[in-house]
Amino acid sequence: MKGQQKFSIVNVNNNSLPIIQEDTKTRYPFVPFGVYGNDDFFDAVTTAFNVSTTNAASIEGIADLIFGKGLYSKNEVFNETLQKIIPQEEIKRVSFDLKLFGNAAFQVYWDETHTKIKKMYHIPVQLLRAEKLGNSPKIENYYYCTDWNDMRKVRDKKKIPAFETSNEKMEILYIKHYCPGLYYYSLPDWVSALQLAMAEGEISNLHFNNIVNGFLPAVMLNFNNGVPAPEERQTIEDLVQAKFTGTDNAGRFMLSFNDDPATKPTIDIIDITNLHEKYDYVAEYTQDRILVAHRVTSPLLFGIRTKNNGFSSQSEEMKTAFSILQTMTIAPFQNIILNSLDYALTCSGYTDAQLYFEQLTPLVILSTTAEETGKSIAQVEDEVNDSMENPATTEDAEDQTPMEPIPGTEAMERFTMPTILSKEYEIYKK
């Protein structure tokens, strides 16, 4: 019928809330860990870190505070041994992994008699997958692969026993915290902001593409050659959606070829007022929610400027914020690492480890406190370290992860690491 008009609503909202799950029904002997797909948890988290400036700054800042100035022992005799067993750089990497992924791992190398730990090294936790439970209620092995997205490499994965489940020369000490609904893995404390971090990345991408391609207004595309059949209309909708939606397509344009001016498509400009204000609101909202997920009450602690804080010096506010962050976030992370290491060293016969993290306190807090008290910055720093000291509590260690022990092994040789990491890892042989 002439004059007939049909409207189609093109649905561009194809995202859904992430469902994070351990896939124990897979045919593989290991357990995939997925967010949006079969085994993409670590990839999704890495992407959320890479694309979001607020998320990256928060994670890096908190990870630095977790590590502080390093791991030491109050037992001066053992402290020298500790530094040889676990290099500080390895602790720093584990601290970062634990904050970023909610999971971390050490390679543990035993001596020839499997009675003493000789070396402990960080291993990228994203390269590990837990073995399905068998007859034992504990995880007995982990699978190592340099690229879990490449099935050819997955076939060549290496099976490594969990800590104290074998007599092998090298075992995996897996570190994680309790997470309801999960057994094999745990979640990062900021997981509730996963989509918001992705959204912040998309906002940046949108602005970038608009800048590169020029700012174009929103439009309505009208086809004036009749109403197509449902199948044809769906094809057109899919084509338009694929070509022109999403932040990557900001600023694109359409070419139309017609043999009759009467049927050429028309384009109506849709004037969206105050669009910049809407973008600003979304940007502020995502930033705020990401900071909430990380429990950051004062973004200035990490050099993050927000609309509300600027860069003015508010020493009392920063002191309070740092104290809250230290108590609610930093100390729990440190405890997970301390308890796991204390447990591992105790199993190795080091019963008087007395591990602790030397704390890192922002200079602005130290200087203002020193000024107020008339003490030197060094004195204030010592007092802060003493007040924030966080010794290991071995009673809680067994709750950290399925990583309980059994002795015995000889020569020690590190398995082949990814090329990108080869320079950072030494080869130890008998």
The answer to whether residues 230 and 378 belong to one domain is: no
Output the tens digit of pLDDT for each of the chain's 430 residues.
444 444 444 444 555 667 899 999 888 899 999 987 779 999 999 999 999 999 999 999 999 999 999 999 999 999 999 999 999 999 999 999 999 999 999 999 999 999 999 999 999 999 999 999 988 889 999 999 999 988 777 778 999 999 999 999 999 999 999 999 999 999 999 999 999 999 998 887 776 666 555 455 555 566 666 666 777 777 777 776 666 655 555 545 454 545 555 655 666 555 555 656 677 888 899 999 999 999 998 888 887 777 666 445 566 778 888 889 999 999 999 999 999 999 999 999 999 999 999 998 877 778 877 877 888 888 877 777 777 666 655 444 444 444 333 333 333 333 334 333 333 333 333 3
The answer to whether residues 202 and 161 belong to one domain is: no
- Whether 5 is covered by a domain: the verdict is no
The answer to whether residues 376 and 276 belong to one domain is: no
The answer to whether residues 78 and 210 belong to one domain is: no
Q: What percent of the chain has pLDDT over 90?
A: 48
The answer to whether residues 365 and 273 belong to one domain is: no
- Answer with the one of 237, 261, 293 that is the final residue of a domain: 293
Number of Cβ within 10 Å of residue 383's Cβ equals 14
CA distances to 97, 306, 360, 389 from 301, in Å? 21, 12, 12, 20
Beta carbons of 291 and 54 less than 8 angstroms apart? yes
Q: What is the pLDDT of residue 106?
A: 98
- Whether 8 is covered by a domain: the verdict is no
Q: What is the pLDDT of residue 411?
A: 35
- Per-residue tokens: 347: 């199993």
Task: Give the number of domains in the chain.
Answer: 2
> Domain range for residue 260?
195-293
- Whether 303 is covered by a domain: the verdict is no
Q: What is the pLDDT of residue 300?
A: 82
Q: What is the pLDDT of residue 329?
A: 94
- Whether 209 is covered by a domain: the verdict is yes
Whose tokens are 């405890």? That residue is: 335
The answer to whether residues 329 and 366 belong to one domain is: yes
- Whether 304 is covered by a domain: the verdict is no
CB-neighbour burial class of residue 106 (10 A; exposed 0-12, middle 13-18, buried 19+) = buried
The C-alpha atoms of residue 424 and residue 417 are separated, in whole angstroms, by 10
Specify the DSSP class assigned to residue 133.
P
- Answer with the one of 293, 322, 348 that is the final residue of a domain: 293
Beta carbons of 207 and 248 less than 8 angstroms apart? no
- Whether 299 is covered by a domain: the verdict is no
The C-alpha atoms of residue 165 and residue 172 are separated, in whole angstroms, by 10
The C-alpha atoms of residue 256 and residue 422 are separated, in whole angstroms, by 54
The answer to whether residues 219 and 345 belong to one domain is: no
What is the distance, to the nearest Å, from the Cα of residue 421 to the centroid of all Cα atoms in its chain?
19
Beta carbons of 135 and 155 less than 8 angstroms apart? no
The answer to whether residues 80 and 199 belong to one domain is: no
The answer to whether residues 233 and 181 belong to one domain is: no
Q: What is the pLDDT of residue 150?
A: 82
The answer to whether residues 221 and 157 belong to one domain is: no
- Whether 231 is covered by a domain: the verdict is yes
- Whether 323 is covered by a domain: the verdict is yes
The answer to whether residues 43 and 173 belong to one domain is: yes
Of 87, 96, 110, the residue nearest 65 (C-alpha)? 96
The answer to whether residues 44 and 166 belong to one domain is: yes
Q: Buried b vs exposed e over 253-290: b needs ≥16 C-beta within 10 Å?
A: eeeeeeeeeeeeeeeeeeeeeeeeeeeeebbeebbbbb
